Amino acid sequence: MTEETSSRLHATIAGRVQGVSFRYFVMEQADKLNLRGWVRNRWNGTVEVTAEGAHQDLELLLAALREGPPMAVIDNVCYDWLAATGEFISFDVVSTI
């Protein structure tokens, strides 16, 4: 993957997204798409995602974030596109902040 085709997606998902396996859903989607980064719960009840990879694959992840796993209810997805930094070697669930 070259820098020209690599992007970073940062997203915050609000709704019923904690206690419904949302983070593991995101990790599974990211693994399928060969993305790197992290997902975590936030104390305010949202889920935060930072992922890097091919822009088209990040678009697919964004579509999955808008749908979520079966028990989730998505109220809002706020996101930004940023330049990839290449700092990640895998996709992980990280500690809640």
Active site members: 23, 41
DSSP string, 51-93: EEEEHHHHHHHHHHHHH--TT-EEEEEEEEEEE-----SSEEE
Please name the helix (run of DSSP H) or strand (run of DSSP E) that holds residue 27, with its range, or none: helix 22-32
3-state SS class at 48: strand
Angle of CA points 83, 55, 13, to nearest 5°: 80
Contact 37, 54 (CB under 8 A): no
